[in-house]
């Protein structure tokens, strides 16, 4: 589980770097067996590119006008209801259900 969390954190960091290439990220996901994530990135690649055009300091201002912001808001809303997760797996299930 720790390796999976480390992979997710490194993936998140590389996704938001200016030089983070979506094709490289999809290759990493394919290697680790996250095929549904690859499909999701493919469907929302335009939104991801649009989001990354803005400066990082402006991301909060744009998060209500794009898909990633809505997902972030939904994760916050659902996690407030639970407030304490019994395990990492339960957190992954909650986020994965979105």
Name 81's Cβ contacts closer than 8 Å, sequence gap at least 6: none
pLDDT digits (tens, 9 = 90+) for 36-68: 888 888 888 887 777 777 777 776 676 556 677
Question: Sign of the C-alpha dihedral, residues 13, 77, 35, 92?
Answer: positive
Q: What are phi and psi of 18, to 5 degrees?
A: -65, -30
Taking all residues of the chain, what is their mean pLDDT, rounded to a whole number? 75
Q: How far apart are the first and last CA of the chain?
A: 20
pLDDT digits (tens, 9 = 90+) for 69-83: 778 788 788 777 766
The answer to whether the CB of 22 falls within 8 A of the CB of 45 is yes
Of the segments 32-36, 76-80, 87-91, which one has the largest average pLDDT value? 32-36
Indicate whether 93 pLDDT > 60.
Answer: yes
Q: Mean pLDDT, to the nearest integer, of 21-50?
A: 84
Length of the chain: 98
Indicate yes or no: pTM above 0.85.
Answer: no
Q: Mean pLDDT, to the nearest integer, of 21-33?
A: 84
- Determine the Cα–Cα distance for residues 78 and 80; give it in Å rounded to an integer: 5
> Among residues 40, 64, 42, 39, which one has the least CA distance to residue 51?
64
């Amino acid at each position: 589980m720790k390796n999976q969390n480390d992979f997710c954190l490194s993936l998140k960091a590389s996704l938001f770097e200016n030089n983070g290439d979506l094709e490289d990220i999809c290759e990493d996901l394919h290697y680790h067996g996250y095929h549904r994530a690859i499909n999701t990135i493919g469907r929302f690649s335009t939104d991801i590119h649009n989001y990354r055009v803005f400066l990082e300091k402006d991301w909060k201002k744009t998060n209500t006008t794009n898909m990633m912001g809505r997902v972030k808001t939904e994760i916050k809303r659902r996690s407030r209801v639970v407030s304490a997760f019994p395990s990492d797996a339960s957190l992954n299930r909650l986020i994965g259900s979105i």
